[in-house]
Amino acid sequence: MTSRLRVLWKEIHSELLNDIHAGHYAVGEKMPTEAELARRFNVNRHTVRRALGLMREDGFVFSKKGSGVFVTGKNATYRIGKRTRFSQNISADGVPSRQITSVETRHATRLEASKLALKTSDIVHVAEGLGHLENTPIMHSVSRFPSGRCDGILAHLQTNPSKTDAFTALGIADYLRKETEVTAVTATAMMANILRCELGAPLLRVNSVNILLDGAPIEYGTTHFIGDRMVLSVHTD
């Protein structure tokens, strides 16, 4: 009986992949529910769940918390180098979009002060945002900018979420990536809710520091990427 169940979920996995490749389910489209698939294949939901789980591991589908299972597009590649730019990095893999979800101005924390060469009594401007690909959240970011060098940046970001354009508007024509730290983590309840992924889903956390050409820090950022939708590519140019 156990052997037959193993064959069944593999057959379901193969059949659903054929459906995706044949175009029956488009990229971003919601798959039938476990109950619907169980009726279609005349099996229990546990068997369907195993088939969908393998498809998720292989990157063919992804889950949205409270919404269901959706067909995955190709993974987005995020290029990490001296000049890392969100839209330029991901545009080769699809049409990226970015939105600012909240802004605030406050005193720097000890870590922020260390990264931005500030004192804890100094002020930072903070912008929180989401990045989407194919209408699906793929990243959540928090950017901290030092006051003085970046005064006015939040107003620009609320009009146009491009950091590069905001820096340009402030007279900063170019900037470089000084530091990048990548850590594998799992989604907390808060991050799962923000990124609409499963609690405990694999994420990549990237902490970074961007600097002016003279070495002065202008941004300390923390970004969480959905692990099964992103490929991080490190370049030394």
C-alpha of 181 from chain center:
16
- The verdict on 60 and 95 lying in the same domain is no
User: Residue 216 sits in a domain of what CATH number?
Assistant: 3.40.1410.10
Q: Is the Cβ–Cβ distance between 217 and 115 less than 8 Å? A: yes
pLDDT score of 81: 58
pLDDT score of 87: 46
- The verdict on 94 and 65 lying in the same domain is no
User: Residue 26 sits in a domain of what CATH number?
Assistant: 1.10.10.10
pLDDT tens-place string over residues 123-137 = 999 999 998 876 778
- The verdict on 167 and 191 lying in the same domain is yes
Domain final residue, candidates 71, 94, 124: 71
Any idea what the Cα angle at residue 206 is, between residues 202 and 209, rounded to 5°?
Answer: 175
Give the integer Cα–Cα distance in Å for 134 and 127: 23
Whole-number Cα distances in Å, 232 to 74, 122, 142, 210: 14, 33, 18, 18
Domain that includes residue 88, residue range: 76-234
**Model-wide pTM > 0.75:** no
pLDDT category of residue 56 using cuts at 50, 70 and 90: confident
Domain final residue, candidates 21, 46, 71: 71
Helix runs in the chain, H state only? 2-21, 34-41, 45-57, 86-90, 110-115, 153-159, 163-169, 189-195
Torsion of CA 214, 215, 216, 222, to 10 degrees: 140
